[in-house]
Amino acid sequence: MNFSMFWPRLNRKDSSKKDSVDSEYLSYDLFYQLSYMSSIAAAGISRSQIFEFASQLPCSSSRYFKEIHLLATQMRYDYAVACRMVGESAEAESVKSLLLRLASSLSSGEKEADFLSQEAKVQAEAFKNEYERDVESLRKWTEAYAALIISAALIVMVAAISMLIYAVATSFTVTLVGVTVCVAAVGSWAIHRVSPKEVRVHPHSSKCAAYSKARWLARLLLPAAVACFFVTLLAGFGLGWALIMGSILIFPIGVAGVRFDRQIRKKDTDISTFLRSLGNVASAVEITVSNALERLDQRSTANLAKDVGRLHARLDSRLKPEICWQRFSLETGSETIYRSVKMFNDAARLGGDPQEVGERSSLVATTLDFLRAKRAQVSSSFTFLALGMHGAIVALLVFVVQVITLFAKVVEGVYTQSVAEAQTKAVEVFSFSFDSVRLLETLTLPCILVMSVATAFAVKAADGGNNYKLFSYLAVTLGLSGMGLVIIPGLVDGIFSSIEMM
């Protein structure tokens, strides 16, 4: 019997595009999903409540459990049969394997809490292995990116020298510059694809002061930077000064984004300790979580001290605990804290043992903290390498093109006279193309801009975090490019003038 006619979402052909989008974060979401279900199952709630709460989670994997819950409640199927039906129709192998194992466990009479606890640990190990593989791939691609960018710059340099040796067609020059642009873009895209996928910033982080500041600066300074860029160009100061002025204006946005990301990292490190300590205190003294908050030594979670203080004040004011905990997590701006706190609060509210709930709900934060440390080792070294390499390549590229341009201006008149007196064969072999040199000088500018954007995007993709961090790297790359366009031509003019004096 085709159940898709009764429940259209069972037909995965209609949702294949959504599955492909969610597949990047599916392992991360499954890790959270199973940890959450394990935490609330430890409270001893019914099977229907477990699936009901699991279906309401804001992650890509929750829709599978929503389908199972609706099949069981509306179409009166047994949960084991519903799990098997949804599992067989799922395209993701990890989801299919999980749901089929869950169906077998439910039909055999195994306790949900035991099965979910074991599966949460298995999924944590699977997510850890996948994350470490992605970090290793990221390490290799960051090394390859340096070679790609250097190769792209060498293509332009070889093209510039070739133009002085032989008459090169305009289409050939445009093609070489296009290849350079494509190489830079493909390299940054590859780093984005192989980088570990996780969510650090909660989508509704407007309550966080650091996030609000970064967003306010972006709304204010980004239009100002664009306007200043075009005004500087129209005023005749050149592209170099326009890039410098634009980079100066967008740099505060990036600084705010970096500070926000650093704040999230520190708080994510402390949230696991906070939840375990709070659970241990509540279980040892046999009091509620709200009362245990008063006995907790906040010095062990210094980065969360202000947030915990506000949470304690709100709970003392007899506000609804669910709202207080939700506001606490949103004010941190961290997706990890939001998910961990939701696990802890829901499981404790449903009657789970605080100590056990604290241990299970801190699993996600603890695992991510260790994995991010490994990623930071790769991204930090790549950041200094990529930015330094970009400055050197831009300087060398502008230097070579400027030298060839000045050389062409010096010898153009002499070359025209010499060609008239030279033999035909010699002219065919050594045929300088001054028009192509001017074209290359024009095409070098967009090539530098593309490499600036590609390098900034590659560094941001390797490091991860909020999108406002991109502006800090973009300000550096554009600033280095602008300084190269301003300083190098003057340096080349000084070198040529000294040669002429000699």
Instruction: Write down the domain spans for the chain.
Output: 3-110, 131-197+369-501, 265-366
- Whole-angstrom distance, CA of residue 469 vs CA of residue 496: 41
Instruction: State the pLDDT at residue 90.
Output: 85
- Whole-angstrom distance, CA of residue 461 vs CA of residue 189: 9
CA atoms within 13 A on the CB side of 414: 5
CB 165, CB 433: distance < 8 Å: no
Which residue reads 């944590």 in tokens?
A: 124
- Whole-angstrom distance, CA of residue 15 vs CA of residue 12: 5
Instruction: State the pLDDT at residue 18.
Output: 44
Can you read off the two tokens belonging to residue 445? 């500018």
Strands (E) located in 98-245: none
CB 469, CB 460: distance < 8 Å: yes
Instruction: State the pLDDT at residue 470.
Output: 93
- Whole-angstrom distance, CA of residue 148 vs CA of residue 152: 6
Name, in order, each residue with C-beta under 8 angstroms of 106's C-beta and a sequence gap of 6 or more: 47, 78, 79, 80, 83, 112
CB 311, CB 325: distance < 8 Å: yes
SS3 label, residue 75: coil
Rounded to the nearest 10 degrees, the angle between the axes of helix 47-55 and helix 112-165 is 20
CA atoms within 13 A on the CB side of 65: 24
Cα dihedral 221, 222, 224, 226, rounded to 10, equals 160
Smallest CA-to-CA distance from 124 within 223, 226, 39 is with 39
- Written as tens digits, the pLDDT of the chain (502 aa) is 333 333 334 343 334 344 444 567 888 889 899 989 988 888 888 888 999 999 888 888 889 999 999 999 888 889 899 999 998 888 888 889 999 999 998 888 888 888 888 888 888 898 999 999 999 999 999 988 888 888 877 777 777 676 666 666 667 777 777 888 888 888 899 999 999 988 888 888 777 888 999 999 999 999 999 999 999 989 988 888 999 999 999 999 999 999 999 999 989 888 988 888 888 888 888 888 888 888 877 777 778 888 888 888 888 888 888 888 888 988 888 999 999 998 888 888 888 888 888 888 888 888 888 999 999 999 999 999 999 999 988 888 888 888 877 776 666 555 555 544 545 544 454 455 555 666 777 778 888 888 899 999 999 999 988 899 999 999 999 999 999 999 988 888 777 775 554 4
Q: How far is CA 258 from CA 79, 245, 273, in A?
A: 46, 21, 24
- DSSP state string for 187-198: HHHHHHHHSPP-
SS3 label, residue 309: helix
